[in-house]
Every structure is written in structure tokens, then in C-alpha cells.
Amino acid sequence: MARQALLKCVLGALLLGLIPLAAFEVWLRGHLFDRVAYSNSAAIDAQLRARDAQGPWNVMFVGDSEVRWGIDPAAVDAGASAAGAPAYRTFNHAFDGFGASWWLRLLPALLRDPSLAHVDTVVLGVQLIDLHRTLPVSGMSCGSLQQPVLTSSFAIDHGWESLCRDRSWDARLGRDLFDDLWTVRYASAVRSLVLPGHQVLAMNSRSLRAPERGFQAHRPIAQDPESYADEFARWKAQYKPARDFVPLPAGAWEQLVRQGGFFDELESVTRASGKRLALFALPTNPVVIDTFRRRDDYQANSRLLAQWAAAHRVPYVDLGIQDRADSDTFFSDMRHLSGPGATVYSRDLGAALVKAGLQVASSTQAAK
């Protein structure tokens, strides 16, 4: 009798302990991401809300901050419509700090999101003065812009969390056993809820206005000339001139466009997701191209990419190095377009994509 009474007490205590845990689990499912950042980035959280609420979309731009600051979806659509393709419905899904190399890993899972079901074409911004590579699937040394995003709940839901760290076998086992529980699956987000102070990537302070379809317009250099000069000096100081401000190694881009190379992999990944790939040369401020002494690299690499694109029937647009008399208005800093510059460039890019053969079905018709 004593044993039975003890067992009843133990079971009762367990039940009483489970009730608040269950109630907390239910509360988390309704409120967690109203209180903490889903992606550890204010910009990406805003982007995801717009993406899911304002679709459907049939054209999606990806790349790094030069895409997110520089591609205005509404202007792309206007340029395409003026060129005879009124069906474009474009979204800017670029992430700050995530250049072309990252998108080999990010695209397959991202394109499975229901809100992107009607995307016909993925348009990637390619930096012609840099190298690109196939990234490992785990344990990378990630930078300050990648690490928070790739350890977030957003990354967990897309299977990206291993990119920046190798998780121990016991941590993986625990997740596998209790993955349906938000207290386990999103343990980091729950900790940041209970223990405030978690760092979230903030919006850039030079933003011109609220984000629109994932695009973030920024103020021109002309509005902050002194700030630009200081930022440019700090940017140059992080590099070693003898190592960095030199042309790229001979033959480096030939490897990228060879059979089975980086761009073959990128096209294969996109096609496997049921989408088409299109490419465009990023509109980087020429001051960076000249600082790195890479004008010749730019031209040679653009020719190589154009040849690869033609052979693979992938639309490719290069509007050239943006040498402009109004650079203080057209650019926001030493790399990125300003809001006004983005509107002009994006309208031209939309028309150029149509000319390059990018026709898409109406997203409204696709949704039906």
C-alpha cells in the first residue's frame, strides 16, 4: 500500500510539473516570434513578412547587400512591362553578406517555402571582380553577418544551422528525439525570450525609407559626404594592398565556368527546384573596382560568364561598370546603389532581362 501511495505521489508530481510545461509550449507556438526575432535579423524578418503577405511572386532576386540595396522590384517590373513583358511580379530575397557562393546552399530549402511556389525564375546577382566557390555543408567559419542568421530559428527550419557549426552527436540526438517541441527545436530563441539581451542584426542606419518587397533603399552619398569619406577609409584599412588590391589569379574564372564548375552546380540546383536561373552583373561602385585594380578582370569575367550562359540558355545581363557623373547621387557608399540609383538601374535591368529572353507566366494565373 505504501508503494502504491508513493507511486501515486510521484505520478501526481510529474503530472503537475508537465502541465505548466505543456501550457508554455502552447503559448510559444502562438507568441514566440512575436517577441523574438525569427531570423536574428530585423531586415530579414521584415522581408519574410512582406514575402508571405504580399505574393504570389514569379521572379525572385537573390544575392548579397548589393542586390538587397540595389534592386527595386517595382522598378524591375516597370522596366519589364515597358519592354513588352507585363507579367513580372518581382520580390527581392537577397540577404546582407550572402554572396553568390552561399546561394548554392540556401536555394534548395528556401525555394520549398509555400510563398515561393509560383516563382518561375531565380535571378542571382554575381560579383565579377570576386571569386566564388562551392561551400562545405558544415563547420564553416562564418562572419558577423552570416553567423546570427545561420544559427537562428529560420536556419533551423531550413536545415542551414550546420553550415556555421558542427553540432555534437548528443545535441543532434536530442533534437531528433524532441524536435516537435518548440522548447527544444527553438531553444536559442526561447533563451533569448527568457533572458533578454540577445543580439539581433539591426536595420542599416542609412536606410532611406521602409523596406518594399524585400528591397531596402539607402540614402545617396551626397546626403552624408563626410560619413562616406570616413567609411571608405575604414573599408580600405581592413585590406592588405599587396595581397588584395591586385588582379585576380590567372585562370581563376575559367574554373568557375568549366563543365561541372560553380555555375554548372548553381544551374543544376536551381533546375532541381523546378525553377529557371538568370544572372546579372552586380552594379558595384567603380571606386571599389578601381581600388582592387580589376577593370580588366571585370571585362574578361563578363565575357566568360556570357559564353557559359549562352551555352546553357541562361539569361545573363551585364549593364556594364557604372561610371557616372552623378555618382554621389547614384551610389550610397563605396559598393552599393542609393535608393534613386536603384530605381534607375532596376528599371533598365528589367528591360534588359526581357531582351535577354526572360519571359514569365503571370503569377496570378500561376496561383489559380
Residue 197 is assigned to a structural domain of this protein:
no
Q: Residue 345: inside a domain, yes or no? A: yes
345 and 240, same structural domain?
yes
Q: Which three cell numbers, joined as nine digits, stand for 343?
A: 530605381
Q: Do 125 and 7 belong to one domain?
A: no
Q: What is the pLDDT of residues 171-189, one digit of tens each?
A: 555 556 556 777 778 878 8
DSSP states of 194-237: HS-----BPPPTTB-S--BTTB--B--GGGSHHHHHHHHHHHHH
Q: Please indicate, yes or no, whether residues 9 and 124 belong to a single structural domain of this protein.
A: no
Q: Which domain holds residue 360?
A: 56-136+206-367
Task: Please determine, for residue 150, whether its predicted confidence score (pLDDT) is greater than 50.
Answer: yes
Is residue 6's pLDDT more than 60?
no
pLDDT tens for each residue of 19-46: 777 776 666 677 777 778 899 999 999 9
The C-alpha torsion from 64 through 247 and 328 to 354, rounded to 10°, is -50
Kindly report, residue by residue over 99-133, the tens digit of the pLDDT. Answer: 999 999 999 999 999 999 999 999 999 999 999 99
In a domain, 320, yes or no: yes
Is the torsion defined by CA of 143, 144, 146, 147 positive or negative?
A: positive
> Using 50, 70 and 90 to split pLDDT, how confident is the model at 194?
confident
Nearest CA-CA partner of 140 in 169, 170, 160, 111: 160
Rounded Cα distance, 20 and 5, in Å: 24
pLDDT band at 366 (very low <50, low <70, confident <90, very high): very low
Same structural domain for residues 291 and 348? yes
The amino acid occupying position 140 is: M
Which pLDDT score is estimated for 190? 78
Please say whether the beta carbons of 239 and 232 come within 8 A. no
Residue 145, domain member (yes or no): no
Has residue 129 been placed in a domain? yes
Nearest-angstrom CA–CA distance, 43 and 56: 20
8 and 126 inside one domain:
no
- Secondary structure element (H or E) that encloses residue 151, with its range: none
DSSP state of 114: G
Same domain for 327 and 232? yes
Average pLDDT for residues 298-308, to the nearest whole number?
98
**CATH code, domain with 293:** 3.40.50.1110
d(CA 316, CA 357) in angstroms, rounded, equals: 9
pLDDT for res 252: 94
- pTM of the predicted model as reported, rounded to 2 decimal places: 0.90
Query: What is the per-residue pLDDT across 240-258, written as a single tens digit (0 to 9) for each?
Result: 999 999 999 999 999 999 9
Task: State mean pLDDT over 259-268.
Answer: 97
Query: In terms of domains, do 285 and 212 share one?
Result: yes
Cβ(207)–Cβ(336) below 8 Å: no
pLDDT mean over 331-351: 97
Contact 163, 189 (CB under 8 A): no
CB atoms inside a 10 Å sphere around CB 81: 16
Residue 6 and residue 125 in one domain: no
Tell me the C-alpha to C-alpha distance, in Å, between residue 52 and each of 18, 71, 95: 35, 19, 16
In a domain, residue 192? The reply is: no
Averaged pLDDT of the chain? 88
Q: What is the per-residue pLDDT for 7?
A: 57
Are 29 and 68 part of one and the same domain? no
Report whether 283 contacts 337 (CB < 8 A). Answer: yes
What pLDDT, on the 0 to 100 scale, is given for residue 170? 46
pLDDT at 193: 75
| pLDDT of 82 higher than 70 | yes
Q: What percent of the chain has pLDDT over 90?
A: 69
Please write the tens of the pLDDT for every residue from 210-229: 999 999 999 999 998 988 99
Co-location of 65 and 6 in the same domain: no
The answer on 351 and 255 residing in a single domain is yes
Structural domain contains residue 179:
no
Q: Please state which of the ranges 267-281, 312-326, 350-364 shows the lowest mean pLDDT.
A: 350-364
Instruction: List the alpha helices (DSSP H) in the chain.
Output: 2-35, 42-54, 65-68, 73-82, 100-110, 146-149, 153-158, 169-178, 182-185, 187-194, 225-237, 241-244, 252-256, 262-272, 286-291, 295-312, 327-330, 339-355, 363-367
Give me the number of domains the chain comprises.
2
Query: Is omega for the bond preceding 249 within 30 degrees of 0, making it cis?
Result: no
Residue 244 lies in a domain: yes
The 10s digit of each residue's pLDDT in 56-74 is: 999 999 999 999 999 999 9
5 shares its domain with 77:
no
At residue 137, the pLDDT reads 82
Separation of alpha carbons 187 and 313, rounded Å: 45
Task: Provide the pLDDT for residue 167.
Answer: 60
